[in-house]
Structures are given as structure tokens and as C-alpha cells.
A and B are shown apart, each in its own frame.
Chain A
Amino acid sequence: MQETILVLVIFFVILIIAMIFFFRVQTASISKMHDEFQEERFYNLVMWVQDMPELRVSDLLYEEQCIDYYKALAFSEVSSNYKGEFGWTNISLEIGGTKEVIYSNKPPKFNDLRRITSPVCLYDERDQRHKVVKMEVIWYKK
């Protein structure tokens, strides 16, 4: 009888240790998945921004995957309303050596930041040309 109780006690102790271990691993993996999701969202911003109707070139029924310079300028004035979409990021376009910030939301404190750049299409109405410019996205990680 005593042996059986001892065996059961040892079994449950080991089981509890294993469960605690699994819960820890599970919590860590959920946290990792959350980070990966945020990272994927951050990478996809480059594509997503170019596709936004607020920024892309359009004329009546014609649309193309290219950022309109004047739309980008206008968007930068109202982009503070897009915090839910862009979060803690800074999105800018480098046009002919000058940087045009189209969205900026920098937290007062952050632990780390990630910076990515990508070439994008920009239609500049000033000289009526399609150009290849650099888009920079900075993600402030809290």
C-alpha cells in the first residue's frame, strides 16, 4: 500500500514538473508567434502602403500600383489617424535626396528599432514621370 502511494506521489510530482515545463515552453512559443506576426506585418507594410487607395495613382477607372507624389504629401497631413494600421512606425520616401515622411509615430520609450528599405514606384506630377524611389520603414519595438 505504502509503495503504491509512493509511486503515485513520484508520478504526480514528475507530471507537475512536466506540466510546468510545457506551460513555460507554450508561453514562450506564443510570445514568439506574436513577435513573428508583428514582424511579418512590418515587412508587409512596404507592399501594403503602395496598394493603399489613399496613396496609389488613380484616374477615373484607371489605377496603377504606384505612389502618387501629391497624394503622399496630402496623406502625410492626415496620417496621424492611421495609428491603428501602422502602429509604432515611421514611413518615409526618399525623393531626389530629400526625405518625405508620410507617417510618423514614435513612442517616448522603445527597446529596439528595425529599419527596412525597399525600392518603390512613385509618380511625380511635377515632371509627369514615374520614378524609382526608396521607401524606408522604421519599426519601434517596445
Chain B
Amino acid sequence: MRKGQIDAMGLVIIVILLVVIGLAVMFFTLRSSSDEDNFLTIKANSLMNALDKADLNEGRFRELVGGCCEGVDSDCDVVRVFFDNLVENIDENASLYIDGNYFSGRDCDVFVSSTSFVEGVSCSASVRMCK
């Protein structure tokens, strides 16, 4: 090879390297977290907020959850029926967890959880939105 050809090859390699490095930088800087995951979190928290305030014929949802935690079976039944009907009506794949255990709704393995509300001394409830 002549000197000029070697120089040209060197420059081509430099430009290719710059392109590769530029692409790698763009790939890593432009990657963002999924908007849909964030939206599921918004939905889960919005549902939890609505449930926290919901008034049922038998009383406030929050108080009924508290009664259920204390072992009042009728309160548990009301909460279960209400939540099952709710997910059916609003057509959401959501499940209700009380004290960390599945209680009602559509359960799933991959989910986004809401913040939980605490009723009484140690009774907590949260909802999970399926992905």
C-alpha cells in the first residue's frame, strides 16, 4: 500500500469509530423509562384514592376494610363483592390486597402496586394493577 492509502484507511477507521461512539452515546442517553408503567402507577394510586373515599350502602369502604381485618365476615363479603363488581364495571385488571394478602379482583403475576392506606392499628390495603 502507498502512504496515501494507509492515511485514508486510518481516517476511515477514525470516522467509523466516531460514528460508533456517537451511536452508543445516543442509545444510552435517549433511553427512557416506560410511560405506560408510570401511567399504571397513576391508575393504581387513583383507584386507591377513590376506594379510600368510596361510600357504600353498608358504610365507608375504608371502615369496612378495617372491620374485615378485625374478622367481621359480613364486612369482608361486602368489600369482596363491591371490588369484584367494580373491576367488572370499570373493566380494569386490578386486585385488592389486604395486609399483603390477595383479597379480591383479577390477580396477576406482573403488576404495579399502589400506595396503601392504613385503617386501625395494623390493617393496610392496596391495589395492584396488572401490566
Q: What is the interface of chain A, defined by CB distance below 8 A to chain B?
A: 3-4, 6-7, 10-11, 14-15, 18, 21-22, 25, 29, 32-33, 36, 39-40, 43-44, 46-47, 50, 64-66, 94, 116-123, 128-134
**Chain B 31-64 against A: per-residue CB contact (8 Å), 1 yes, 0 no?**
0100110110011001101110111000000000
How near does chain B come to A52, taking the closest CB pair, in angstroms?
Answer: 14
Q: Is B110 an interface residue (CB 8 A)?
A: no
Q: Which residues of A contact B92 (CB under 8 A)?
A: 117, 119
**Are A118 and B4 neighbours in the complex by a CB distance under 8 Å?**
no
Indicate the size class of the contact surface on chain B: 35 or more
* B interface, CB within 8 angstroms of A: 2-4, 7-8, 11-12, 15, 18-19, 22-23, 26, 30, 32, 35-36, 38-39, 42-43, 46-47, 49-51, 53-55, 86, 89-92, 94
Contact A39 B54 (CB under 8 A): no
Contact A11–B54 (Cβ < 8 Å): no
Point out the residues of chain B lying under 8 angstroms from A121, CB to CB. Answer: 46, 49-50, 53-54
Chain B neighbourhood of A120, CB < 8 A: 46, 50
